[in-house]
Every structure is written in C-alpha cells, then in structure tokens.
C-alpha cells in the first residue's frame, strides 16, 4: 500500500514530538537570525548564498577547490574517501577522513572529464571505479594509505556520440561491473577479469543509477517509460520523452528491473518524476524521485512500490526539495540529500511497516548531491556540489582578475547524526536558512484571485491583494556582473577597477540607474546560461542541470530545448496564463530557429544593422530580407502560442536594434489597440558579445548596441499611456563573463517604473528569484516552487508614490558598427586569434556560451593589451593551440 507521509512539520499539530522540539528551539535561535547582507562569509560563521538562502553546514568541512563534487564514495576502512566532479580535466579527489583534508588529486589522462554519477570502491577497498562522460570507466588501484594510481581504462563502444556513463554497481563476486549508459538508454556490462566492455542491455529513458538485489539490477530511468506512437513527446538528447502537454516536463519516471542472467528487462515499475538515486537495503530498493520530492520504496521480488515517503519540508509545500542521494546507516536510518534545501533529511526506516518516520534535518553546504556512510566510525560524508559557492580563488576573466562564478569552492561535510536532544535545533537551522520560518501560510494556498476590497498599492503585502501595477516587462540580458557595468557609479558599492562597460559605453544603463534606482546587492544563483535561464523563468535549476553543470554532455539548455530540464512546477509565463493573465514572449526561451529562406541568404550582422536603420526611418531603402525571414519558436506547448516568432532568439549575428524595432512595432499596435499584455518577457542578448570574431561588432560596440536597445524600449514604454501602470525588470541570465569585487554572482539588475524609488540606491539583498516573486505578488500568482514561495517581494525597490516622469534614451557614444577586422587584414599572432574567435562562434550562432572561456578570455585580454602582455599566470602570449585546457568548461556535444 502506498503511504504518503509528510516530513518536517512547519505547520503541523503538536502531536508530533519533532514538531514540539522544533517549536521549542525556534525562539532560542530566532535571536541569531542569519544576516541578509552581501553574499559570502558572515561574522556569525554562516554563508549567505546568491540563491536567497544561508548555509550553516554541520560537522567538519573539507575544501575541494575548483570542483563541483557530484559523488562521494567512502573506502570500506573508513580512512579515506573519493569524490567525482563532472568538469573537464578536473581530477578525482581523495580526502583523508582522519585529518579532514584533501590529500590527492588524480587525473586519469590529460583530457578526461568525469561524470555526473558513478563512483565506488571494491568490497576489499583495493580498487576504485569511476565513470567518465567521454565514454570510459576508469579502474584505479588503491594503496594501503588510500592513494590511487591508474589500473585500466575501459572504453565503451560509442557509435552515436557519448554514451554518458553514469551510475555503477558491482556484482557480489567482484568480477562484473554494471554501468548505466545514460544517452544510450542501456545498462552496460564490464568484465573485470579482462577489463573489457562485453555487452549492454536496453532499459528505459535516460537511466541514471543502478542497484543490485541478487541477480536483478534495478535501474532508475529519469526520463520515464519508452514512448509509444500515442504519446506526446519532446526530445532530450535524441530520445523522445513522454511529457506533460502543457509544461513539456517529463510526465513519468520508472525503474527497470533487469534479470542479469537472461539480460532482459522483466519489469517496469512506475515511480515519481525524475527518479535519480537508487539504494538497495535488505529486500527493499529506495528510489529518490527528485522532481516529486519523494522516495519510492520497492519490495524486491514483488517488484512494486509498497510505500512512498514525502520529503516535502512542510504540509502543502510546493516542489523544491530535490532529493538526489540516499544512504542507510547501521541504525536503519534512511538519509536523504535534499539538494535545493541544502540539508539532509533523516528518517527512521521500519521494514515491517514498509515505512519511514521523519526524525529531523541536518544543515549541509550548498547543494548536497551525494551522501555515503562510514560504517566504521558511524559517520556520514556529504558531497556538496556547490560547496560554499564561488568563494574560491580569484579568476581571470578578460583583462580583469577577481571573484567569479567560476571560482568554485566545493566542499564535503563529515557529519555525525545529532541525537534526539540536538536534532530539532539543527532542523530549525535548516528552516531559517531556507526562510521557511518567514513564509505566510496564506501564500502556500494562493489561488491567483485578487481581492477587490483591499486598497491597491504598488507591491501588495499579501498575495491576492490588488496592485497599482498592471503591466510587467521582464528583460533578460547576458552574462555581465554588477562591477562590469556599474562599478563606476560612486553612489553605491562598486569598484571602478573592475569596470569593462562603464558610462561611456552604457550611458542608458547609467541614466536609468540614476533616474530610477540602483540595485547594488542583487544576485543570480547560476554559473552560465544552461542554469541561468532556468532560474529566470522557472525560479529553480533542477538537479538534472546542477549535476551536469559545466559538462553538459546531453545538452546545453540555455533556452530550453531539453524536456528533462523542465520542471512540473512550470514556468513564469504558464503561471500567469493559468491565472487569466495575458502574456507575450520576445525571444526568451525560444530555442528552435526557423528559416523561411535558405539560411545562406540571411546575410550578415551588417545587413541586419542596415535593416534596423531602415525600420527606424534613419535611412531609406529596402530590407535585405523581409521581417520574419528568420523566426524563432519552441516545442514547449504553453510558450509557442504566445511567442512573437519574428523576434530573433539569441544570435550574435543580429543587432539588438533590430530586436528593439520588432518589439516597438508591436508596442505601437498595443498602444493603438489598447491590448498590451499583462506580462512581456523579452531577451536583449547582445551584451554577451562575440569576442573578437572578425566581421562582427567589437565587444564595446556590442554592449553599446544592447544599451541603446534597452534605452529605446524604456523610452517608448515611459512615453505611453501604459507607463503609469507599468514596471520593468532588467536582469542578466548569469554573470559568467566578468568579475566583481563582492561576488562573481552579483548582477546589474534594474527596476524601472513610475513606482520605483527614484534616485535611490537600493542595497537590500535580492536575487533573480525575488524578481519572479515580485511579479507573482503584482499579479496575485501562486508561487511555482519553494524558492519563490520563500522569497520576499522587492518592497524596498518600490514606493506607492507615482512619479510619471518619462525616460528619454541617450544616443550611443560608441559606433554600433565598429567591427572586428577581418583576418585578411591581420598577420601573425593577431590573425591566429582572429581565426580562433571565428571558429569559436561558428556553428554556435544560436547558442550562447558555447565558446571555450579559456580561449575567449585570452582573446579579449590580448586584444585589450595590444597582444603584448601575457594573460595572467601564462609565461607568454600564447597562440590558440597552446592554451591549456580549462578545468571548468567542456564543449557542448549534443
């Protein structure tokens, strides 16, 4: 029988002993509420994250610099442990669990990237096995002191690109290793007596992990069951995934039961959404349903689910805990890593009742992704994928050195589970760290209906109260930090030495920040566009992308394009549509280019720039191709009907002036017809730049183009009848292409509205999630998940006093058509780098961040220093072919 149990009791009856203990602990801890200042280490020992959360990890913290540790394995003797991180050329880390220090970094080869899963020791601890996403499984020899050396590498046949090896399981006799082949939808078999790959068995879609019970293998299939002709599907890395016809998210999750003797699947067991981690203990198999916030318990032999345990943190909680790893202690305590809660969930397993009772929560580092038991010392070891965030060593981006999103400081937490006297206190820490203690109960059950009896204000205090704002514009840009743009504004917390695109290049950004408000404590939680756009439109980045970050083998879902990156909780536009708001999308999350003429006839950036001048009436003439010759669309059912397909998606070969012209044509019609949508989502991506690619704008010209386009859009809105009921939010999808003296995640976001705090510096801590929550607050929309539920609206950025003063855009100071020279005009090292830039962006014109930052950063540095000064840390000015591999990036291979 299925039993759905609620876990931690935020609003539960006092009959629960855990609830009573938590409530007792609450007032004792409330006096030390974590600070909400700038991101980073705080005086009280906590760390403020760029995700609206605080961490206070319990136990001994082991630093793993420049790594995002996805998986941890503890050697059977409990003396050492290994960590696997899915980034190119990032070594396997070995830590000494006695000293709590990293003791070895082992890289099996010069160009080997690790995987999202797949790391285990042999029963005798003499061998360590690891999956590599380039299609290999590495076998390491382990010495008595725990250090590893290369034993063998087993290559998996890959006729259709990377098989993306993942989870591993070892036969009882230690002679056979089973490996999940994620992109091949199969379970692979390796003969360890000969170290050869011998066979593979088809399973279901996007298998993630494997556990053995006797002669059966249980394989979790994140993409669910195999599609039939009657199913509605959207692909993921070449596999059709059965999806919800509205959200586009996977609508099933399964566990394949494989008879290893006959090498066939004998059962398919439906479980929750996105089943990832799988654990066998006794006669039971536990499955972490990452996107359902639950654990399915399967009884082996019966091959059916006998219990479902919820890990939701409080009754009525929306999606957002992301269980992604499981372990069982000697005391039969089931331990679950709750990735997006930055916590462990501790449950007491009762095999007779097929049930698990909630005991409490334990705080960890940022995004725990794996947990292992040290049975010798009765401890847990947790791999924190994001660790302490980007608080590691300064990084070199372009011609600047400083805090960057790439300064990853992964960690591991060595923890003893607190006893019943202490666990409630740790549980309440998790509540505070996630702001669950600040949640208004009414917000959990908001229905999207607004109350007419309440006096409207700009930002209502409660969901459902009316707002003076009726129209919201969300403008999404690309990749800049706060200091890169606003570091030269002396009114706020900036550092002019980090400025790349100051007031001379971005006069409109600066004028807007001066007329309305300057946000100098605003952050994005992401690293690049793959997770950045998820935070913007979903208010969460799912485990599927967090575990693959920087090593995106399956896909690079910057604007969607992969059904497994969509969550069932949906998108901002769908939330609005579901509650009778009108929405129009301009380019954001549109990933499918449509060519209504041969692509070769589309012309160049200069052709589209000339067209923009014609559309604006600045010059006369005919367009080189009609508007709509290049269109953008999506396979997401809820987004496709509301998209303006003539508005270009991301591509550096079309200026933002052209995008602005397409939007302003529509806006003119909205004004004339009185039918402006409630919500407009738009991308203006050209501040991404094309580096030094020949024939395309210089970085300065590209950012100036972006600046002018934003200014023109705001000008039109502010001079329209809709201005007095409008708010414009501007944010970067991520901050990866710059550094910032506060934190690499600081984002040059803006709030532009007649209700903005004009002329003020707003230093309240806010993130991209607060933007989503503010939009929901304006329209009375229920939160999509735990992140936007716990986030506060941006009250400090608004006032109820109306100031109708419009904005008039400023002309650009940098010529927009200042192009990088063609390679024919260059020679020597300059020509080599121009050709490298051209190659970097070739074939990626509709995909941001596909270029190697190790190359791109040097290209920009050399251009900025006239090719005379070595890149920081390099002994000389390199040719492109001499550049060392970047440990934080690997090319998209989908």
Question: Which H, E and C letters describe 475-533, residue by residue?
Answer: EEECCCCHHHHHCCCCCCCCCHHHCCCCCCCCHHHHHHHHHCEEECCEECCCCCHHHHH
How far is residue 33's CA from residue 364's CA, in Å, rounded to a whole number?
Answer: 17
On the question of pLDDT at 861 being above 90, the answer is no
Nearest to 855 by CA among 825, 883, 819: 883
**By CB neighbour count within 10 A (0-12 exposed, 13-18 middle, 19+ buried), where does 452 fall?**
exposed
Digit-coded pLDDT (tens) for 631-680: 999 999 999 999 999 999 999 899 999 999 999 999 999 999 999 999 99
Mean pLDDT within 304-311: 98
More confident residue, 247 or 711: 711
Which residues fall within 8 angstroms of residue 767, CB to CB, at 6 or more apart? 50, 51, 52, 522, 523, 524, 525, 791
pLDDT in the model for residue 451: 76
On the question of pLDDT at 407 being above 60, the answer is yes
How far is residue 329's CA from residue 772's CA, in Å, rounded to a whole number?
Answer: 40
What is the Cα 573 distance to its own chain's centre?
19
CA dist list (Å): 538 to 438, 441, 559, 877: 21, 22, 12, 42
Nearest to 691 by CA among 574, 807, 862: 862
Q: Identify whether residues 575 and 676 lie together within a single domain.
A: yes
The H-or-E segment that residue 648 falls in is: none
Q: What is the DSSP letter of 19?
A: H
Contact 610, 619 (CB under 8 A): yes
How far is residue 319's CA from residue 375's CA, in Å, rounded to a whole number?
Answer: 32
In a domain, 371, yes or no: no
Mean pLDDT of the chain, nearest integer: 91
Three-class secondary structure of residue 699 per DSSP: helix
Digit-coded pLDDT (tens) for 208-264: 999 999 999 999 999 999 999 999 999 999 999 999 998 999 999 999 999 999 999
Nearest to 336 by CA among 304, 377, 364: 364
Q: What angle do CA 15, 19, 24 make, to 5 degrees?
A: 115
Digit-coded pLDDT (tens) for 530-546: 888 999 999 999 999 99
In a domain, 423, yes or no: no
**By CB neighbour count within 10 A (0-12 exposed, 13-18 middle, 19+ buried), where does 745 fall?**
buried
Q: Band of the pLDDT at 23, cuts 50, 70, 90? A: very low
Q: How many domains would you assign to the chain?
A: 2
Contact 412, 81 (CB under 8 A): yes
Contact 247, 640 (CB under 8 A): no
Nearest to 385 by CA among 549, 495, 560, 155: 549
**By CB neighbour count within 10 A (0-12 exposed, 13-18 middle, 19+ buried), where does 821 fall?**
middle
Mean pLDDT within 690-709: 94
How far is residue 454's CA from residue 464's CA, in Å, rounded to a whole number?
Answer: 9
Nearest to 705 by CA among 809, 632, 620: 809
In a domain, 730, yes or no: yes
pLDDT in the model for residue 663: 99
Q: Identify whether residues 722 and 854 lie together within a single domain.
A: no
Report the length, in residues, of the chain: 894
The CATH number of the domain holding residue 497 is: 3.40.720.10
Of the chain, the end-to-end C-alpha distance in Å amounts to: 41
On the question of pLDDT at 8 being above 50, the answer is no
CB neighbour burial string for 302-316, b if at least 16 within 10 angstroms, e if fewer: ebebbbbbbbbbbee
Q: Identify whether residues 841 and 744 lie together within a single domain.
A: no
How far is residue 832's CA from residue 847's CA, in Å, rounded to a whole number?
Answer: 23
Which residues fall within 8 angstroms of residue 660, CB to CB, at 6 or more apart? 612, 684, 708, 709, 712, 713
Digit-coded pLDDT (tens) for 178-213: 999 999 999 999 999 999 999 999 999 999 999 999
Which residues fall within 8 angstroms of residue 245, CB to CB, at 6 or more apart? 232, 637
How far is residue 889's CA from residue 880's CA, in Å, rounded to a whole number?
Answer: 16
Q: Identify whether residues 769 and 830 lie together within a single domain.
A: no
- Domain boundary among the residues 758, 781, 797 is at 797
- Domain boundary among the residues 797, 814, 840 is at 797
For 45-51, the CB contacts below 8 A with 24+ separation are 46/433, 47/366, 47/388, 47/389, 47/391, 48/765, 49/342, 49/366, 49/389, 49/525, 50/389, 50/523, 50/524, 50/525, 50/743, 50/745, 50/746, 50/767, 51/366, 51/523, 51/525, 51/767, 51/769, 51/787
pLDDT in the model for residue 5: 38
Q: Structure pTM?
A: 0.92
Q: Identify whether residues 716 and 781 lie together within a single domain.
A: yes
In a domain, 62, yes or no: no
How far is residue 172's CA from residue 178's CA, in Å, rounded to a whole number?
Answer: 12
On the question of pLDDT at 52 being above 60, the answer is yes
How far is residue 886's CA from residue 90's CA, in Å, rounded to a whole number?
Answer: 9
How far is residue 277's CA from residue 289's CA, in Å, rounded to a whole number?
Answer: 8
pLDDT in the model for residue 874: 77
Q: Band of the pLDDT at 427, cuts 50, 70, 90? A: very high
pLDDT in the model for residue 21: 46
Least confident of 5-9, 135-139, 588-592, 723-727: 5-9
In a domain, 156, yes or no: no
What is the Cα 499 distance to its own chain's centre?
26
Q: Identify whether residues 831 and 762 lie together within a single domain.
A: no
The 3-class SS string of 574-597 reads HHHHHCCCCEEEECCCCCEEEECC
pLDDT in the model for residue 227: 97
Three-class secondary structure of residue 770 per DSSP: helix
Q: In terms of residue numbers, what domain contains 857?
A: 823-882
How far is residue 632's CA from residue 647's CA, in Å, rounded to a whole number?
Answer: 7
pLDDT in the model for residue 846: 57
Three-class secondary structure of residue 697 per DSSP: strand
For the four alpha carbons of 714, 719, 721 and 723, in that order, the dihedral sign comes to: positive
How far is residue 548's CA from residue 511's CA, in Å, rounded to a whole number?
Answer: 39
Q: Identify whether residues 698 and 828 lie together within a single domain.
A: no
Q: Identify whether residues 563 and 711 lie together within a single domain.
A: yes
Instruction: Provide the strand spans (E) within 98-185.
Output: 101-106, 114-121, 127-132, 136-142, 148-155, 165-170, 176-181
Q: Identify whether residues 834 and 785 lie together within a single domain.
A: no
Q: Band of the pLDDT at 852, cuts 50, 70, 90? A: low
pLDDT in the model for residue 446: 78
| Alpha helices per DSSP H over 616-685 | 656-673
How far is residue 22's CA from residue 9's CA, in Å, rounded to a whole number?
Answer: 8
Q: Identify whether residues 731 and 878 lie together within a single domain.
A: no
pLDDT in the model for residue 104: 97
How far is residue 779's CA from residue 750's CA, in Å, rounded to a whole number?
Answer: 19
pLDDT in the model for residue 13: 29
Q: Band of the pLDDT at 834, cuts 50, 70, 90? A: confident
Q: Identify whether residues 729 and 833 lie together within a single domain.
A: no
In a domain, 669, yes or no: yes
In a domain, 388, yes or no: no
The four Cα atoms 485, 488, 492, 497 give a dihedral, to 10 degrees, of: 90
| Percentage of residues in the chain having pLDDT higher than 90 | 77
Q: Identify whether residues 758 and 857 lie together within a single domain.
A: no
pLDDT in the model for residue 88: 66
- Domain boundary among the residues 797, 832, 852 is at 797
How far is residue 285's CA from residue 472's CA, in Å, rounded to a whole number?
Answer: 48
On the question of pLDDT at 752 being above 80, the answer is yes
In a domain, 434, yes or no: no
For the four alpha carbons of 354, 357, 362 and 366, in that order, the dihedral sign comes to: positive
Strand-pairing partners, residue 595, are 630
Nearest to 77 by CA among 118, 126, 32, 111: 126
pLDDT in the model for residue 94: 98
């Amino acid at each position: 029988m299925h039993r759905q149990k609620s876990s931690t009791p935020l609003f539960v009856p006092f009959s629960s002993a855990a609830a009573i203990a938590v409530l007792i602990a609450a007032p004792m801890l409330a006096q030390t509420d974590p600070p909400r200042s700038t991101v980073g280490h705080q005086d009280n020992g906590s760390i403020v994250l760029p995700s609206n959360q605080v961490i206070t990890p319990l136990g001994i913290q082991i630093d793993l610099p420049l790594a995002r540790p996805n998986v941890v394995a503890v050697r059977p003797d409990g003396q050492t442990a290994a960590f696997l991180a899915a980034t190119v050329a990032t070594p396997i880390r070995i830590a000494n669990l006695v000293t709590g220090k990293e003791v070895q970094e082992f890289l099996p080869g010069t160009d080997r990237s690790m995987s999202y899963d797949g790391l285990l020791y042999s029963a005798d601890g003499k061998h360590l096995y690891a999956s590599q996403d380039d299609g290999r499984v590495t076998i390491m020899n382990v010495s008595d002191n725990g250090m590893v050396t290369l034993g063998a590498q087993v290559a998996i046949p890959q006729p259709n690109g990377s098989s993306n090896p993942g989870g591993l399981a070892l036969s009882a006799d230690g002679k056979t290793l089973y490996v999940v082949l994620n992109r091949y939808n199969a379970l692979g078999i390796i003969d360890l007596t000969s170290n050869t790959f011998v066979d593979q068995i088809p399973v279901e879609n996007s298998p993630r992990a494997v556990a053995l019970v006797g002669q059966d293998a249980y394989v979790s299939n994140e993409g669910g069951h195999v599609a039939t002709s009657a199913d509605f599907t959207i692909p993921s890395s070449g596999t059709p995934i059965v999806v919800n016809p509205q959200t586009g998210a996977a609508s099933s999750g399964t566990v394949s039961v494989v008879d290893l003797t006959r090498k066939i699947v004998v059962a398919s067991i439906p479980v929750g959404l996105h089943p990832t981690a799988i654990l066998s203990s006794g006669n039971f198999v536990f499955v972490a349903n990452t996107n359902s916030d639950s654990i399915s318990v399967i009884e082996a032999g019966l091959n059916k689910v006998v219990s479902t345990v919820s890990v939701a943190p409080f009754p009525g909680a929306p999606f957002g805990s992301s269980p992604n790893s499981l372990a069982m202690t000697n005391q039969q305590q089931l331990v679950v890593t709750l990735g997006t809660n930055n916590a462990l969930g501790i449950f007491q397993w009762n095999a007779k009742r097929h049930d698990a009772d909630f005991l409490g929560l334990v705080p960890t580092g940022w995004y725990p992704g794996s947990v292992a038991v040290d049975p010798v010392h009765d401890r847990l070891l947790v791999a924190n994928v994001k660790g302490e965030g980007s608080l590691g060593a300064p990084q070199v981006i372009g011609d600047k050195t400083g805090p960057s999103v790439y300064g990853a400081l992964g960690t591991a937490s060595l923890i003893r589970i607190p006893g019943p006297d202490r666990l409630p206190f740790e549980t309440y820490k998790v509540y505070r760290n996630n702001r669950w203690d600040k949640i208004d109960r009414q917000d959990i059950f908001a229905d999207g209906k607004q109350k007419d009896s309440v006096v409207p204000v700009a930002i209502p205090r409660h969901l459902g109260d009316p707002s003076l704002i009726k129209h919201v514009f969300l403008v999404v840009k690309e990749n800049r930090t706060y200091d890169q743009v606003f570091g030269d504004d002396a009114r706020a917390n900036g550092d002019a030495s980090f400025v790349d695109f100051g007031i001379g290049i971005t006069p409109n950004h600066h004028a807007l920040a001066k007329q309305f408000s300057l946000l100098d404590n605003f952050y994005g939680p992401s690293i690049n566009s793959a997770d950045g756009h998820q935070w913007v439109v979903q208010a969460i980045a799912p485990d599927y992308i967090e575990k693959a970050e920087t090593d995106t083998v399956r896909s690079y879902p910057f604007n969607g394009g992969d059904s497994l990156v969509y969550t069932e909780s949906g998108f901002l536009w769908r939330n609005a549509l579901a509650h009778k708001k009108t929405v129009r999308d301009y380019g954001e999350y549109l990933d499918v280019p449509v060519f209504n003429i041969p692509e070769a006839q589309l012309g160049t950036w200069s052709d589209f720039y000339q067209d923009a001048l014609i559309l604006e009436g600045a010059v006369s003439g005919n367009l080189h191709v009609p508007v709509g010759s290049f269109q953008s669309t999506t396979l997401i059912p809820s987004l496709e009907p509301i998209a303006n397909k003539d508005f270009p998606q991301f591509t550096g070969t079309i200026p933002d002036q052209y995008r602005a012209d397409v939007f302003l044509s529509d806006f003119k019609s909205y004004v004339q017809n009185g039918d402006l949508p409630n919500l407009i989502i738009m991308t203006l991506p050209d501040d991404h730049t094309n580096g030094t690619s020949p024939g395309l704008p210089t970085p300065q010209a590209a950012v100036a183009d972006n600046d002018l386009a934003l200014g023109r859009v705001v000008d039109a809105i502010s001079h329209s009848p809709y201005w007095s009921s409008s708010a414009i939010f501007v944010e970067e999808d991520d901050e990866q292409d710059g550094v910032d003296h506060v934190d690499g995640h600081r984002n040059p976001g803006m709030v532009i509205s007649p209700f903005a705090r004009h002329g003020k510096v707003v230093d309240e801590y806010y993130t991209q999630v607060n933007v989503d929550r503010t939009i929901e607050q304006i329209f009375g929309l229920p939160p999509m998940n735990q992140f936007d539920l716990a986030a506060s609206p941006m009250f400090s950025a608004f006032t109820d006093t109306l100031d109708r003063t419009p904005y008039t855009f400023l002309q650009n100071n940098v010529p927009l058509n200042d192009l990088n020279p063609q390679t024919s005009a260059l020679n020597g090292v300059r020509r080599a780098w121009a050709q490298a830039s051209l190659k970097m962006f070739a074939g990626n014109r509709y995909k941001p961040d596909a270029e190697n930052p190790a190359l791109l950063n040097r290209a920009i540095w050399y251009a900025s220093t006239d090719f005379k000064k070595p890149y920081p840390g390099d002994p000389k000015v390199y040719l492109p072919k001499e550049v060392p591999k970047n440990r934080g990036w690997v090319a998209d291979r989908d």
